[in-house]
Structure 1
Amino acid sequence: MDMLLLRLDAPLMSFGGVLVDQINPTDRFPGKSLLAGLLANALGWDHRDAQRTARLQDRLRYAARWDVEPLPFVDYHTVDLGQEHLVDTGWTTRGKAEKRAGGSAKKETHQRWRHYLANGIATVALTLIDISQPPSLDELEFALRRPARPLFLGRKTCLPAAPILLKRYQAENLREALCRIPMADPGPGRHTPARIPACWPPEEGSGAYEDDVYDLRDWRNNLHRGSRRLMFGFLEVLP
């Protein structure tokens, strides 16, 4: 199997769990929507390319492991909507005015909890199904080597500490690749876990448990749209 190996190393990462009110959670492992968005950004696609990004998301298959376990981190912040310059009108992240309805939410303090993973290093083995469609694995490899825009891992504040593309690789399957690739150098103050937590497609072998993950995105409407199954467990990585 032909694949790309990615190394996700950043002070902060966020893997886009399902948003509930003002709570922005992060999933335990990178998901399909995160990887599709990362690759689309490297290719130079934008919000007008929602259909292409959705097709890319559907074609992705991957496995991931933690070389260095991250620490959970919550960013709590508030906005006082009663300030004179914020009364009546807000602004979206896309720079458009947003009128507020009545009630206390119009002028009281808005709270938000954003969850992150701090100081972790993850390795991802990624491939594509239906290779007759663009983009090809060659195009993705080139885009990660020479990205059209700066890349980030979940949120724009989550900048990688090192190049994301590790190398092109051949293995029987994605899970086997993660067992064969040496662990990342943790560096000072970080440690490789005694047991290597990982996730992979269920058809590539059994693990500790299989579960639903909610990592599929409707890119046109910017909403989570469904679930799929992943296997979770621990890997024995060759020295």
Structure 2
Amino acid sequence: MSVLLLKLAAPLQSWGVASRFARRDTQQYPSKSGVLGLIAAAQGRRRTDPIEEELVGLAFGVRIDQQGTMVRDFQVAVSLDERTKYPLSQRYYIADAVFIAGIQGEPSLLEGIRDALLRPKFPLYLGRRSCPVAEPLVLGDLREGSLRDVLLDTSNWQASEWFKRRQPALLRLPIYRDRLPDEMPDVLEEQVRDVPLSFDPVRREYGWRTVLNEHAQVLNPQGKAANHDPLAAFGGA
């Protein structure tokens, strides 16, 4: 199997999986439904079009290369004739985050997705229309190997330079990925309703997927050295 890596970076991102009424939340990492919707838009599919099974069947995972900051925005709307005022809504975003998203599948399918992302038919957004893509999405050529192994490889760490200087010399990058069919259940897994069955605005539908949480360690030469040793008072060996 092969893996296509995408760099999801922009001033704002929002990946809601449980938004209701006037509150629009975001989870701390990109959703599978959101990234598949981005791919479908690049391919020129409309929201009312059926979702291809081969697209839903792709294994998906995310590595948080740069932890962003949660921000909240208040919005008020009125009708065009100004007669109707709508309730105050709260919308949450992730600011200054960088994610590496990986999709695992057959090389021919991934190559078609890569070509579509390089020449998209519709504008691309990171979760919401207010969050346009700010950097090239495709991160190099296809990688050979499993989704897990590719996400654990930190040689392509994409954090900004200013972010690296504020981090320790050794840090752990969270990974959230699909549990693959040949993997045993894990205590760190959770069920997330994040598999798109229909993007139709009239009736959006989502199924469940099993998500595993892991970490990748990365050495940070620009990081801050630890300046406190709690065992120093006991002397050296």
State the TM-score, normalized to the length of structure 1.
0.78
Cα drift, residue 208 of structure 1: 7.1
> Which residue of 1 is the match for residue 69 of structure 2?
71
Instruction: Go from structure 1 to structure 2 and tell me whether the alpha carbon gap of 1:237 and 1:222 turns closer, same or farther (over 3 Å shift).
Output: farther
One-letter amino acid of the structure 1 residue matched with residue 105 of structure 2? L
> Which residue of 1 is the match for residue 4 of structure 2?
4
One-letter amino acid of the structure 2 residue matched with residue 85 of structure 1? D
Instruction: Go from structure 1 to structure 2 and tell me whether the alpha carbon gap of 1:182 and 1:147 turns closer, same or farther (over 3 Å shift).
Output: same
CA contact (8 A) 1:77 1:113 kept: yes
Provide structure 2 residue ranges, at least 5 long, that are not aligned to the other structure: 221-237
Provide structure 1 residue ranges, at least 5 long, that are not aligned to the other structure: 88-106
Task: Confirm or deny that 1:171 pairs with 2:148.
Answer: no
Partner residue of 2:160 out of 186, 194, 197: 186
> Which residue of 2 is the match for residue 35 of structure 1?
35
CA deviations on 1:163-202 (whole Å, 9 max, x unpaired) are 0111223333111101224201413356567221111222
CA contact (8 A) 1:201 1:231 kept: yes
Taking the aligned partners of 1:139 and 1:179, their CA distance within structure 2 comes to: 25
Q: Number of aligned pairs?
A: 212
SS in 2 for 1:15: coil
Task: Confirm or deny that 1:195 pairs with 2:138.
Answer: no
Cα drift, residue 223 of structure 1: 2.2
The percent identity for this pair of structures is: 26
> Which residue of 2 is the match for residue 211 of structure 1?
190
Taking the aligned partners of 1:36 and 1:177, their CA distance within structure 2 comes to: 19
CA deviations on 1:197-225 (whole Å, 9 max, x unpaired) are 11122246887711111212332344243
CA contact (8 A) 2:13 2:94 kept: yes
Taking the aligned partners of 1:192 and 1:11, their CA distance within structure 2 comes to: 20
One-letter amino acid of the structure 1 residue matched with residue 193 of structure 2? Y
Taking the aligned partners of 1:20 and 1:141, their CA distance within structure 2 comes to: 33
Taking the aligned partners of 2:22 and 2:70, their CA distance within structure 1 comes to: 18
CA contact (8 A) 2:25 2:92 kept: yes
CA deviations on 1:60-85 (whole Å, 9 max, x unpaired) are 2111111100110111112356xx82
Instruction: Go from structure 1 to structure 2 and tell me whether the alpha carbon gap of 1:123 and 1:205 turns closer, same or farther (over 3 Å shift).
Output: farther
Partner residue of 2:81 out of 74, 82, 85: 85
Instruction: Go from structure 1 to structure 2 and tell me whether the alpha carbon gap of 1:153 and 1:117 turns closer, same or farther (over 3 Å shift).
Output: same
- Residues 83-162 of structure 1: pairs in structure 2 closer than 5 A: 85-87=81-83, 107=84, 110-128=87-105, 136-162=109-135
Choose between structure 1 and 2 for higher RCO, CA contacts under 8 A separated by at least 6 residues.
1
Structure 1 window deviating more from structure 2 (114-123 vs 170-179): it is 170-179
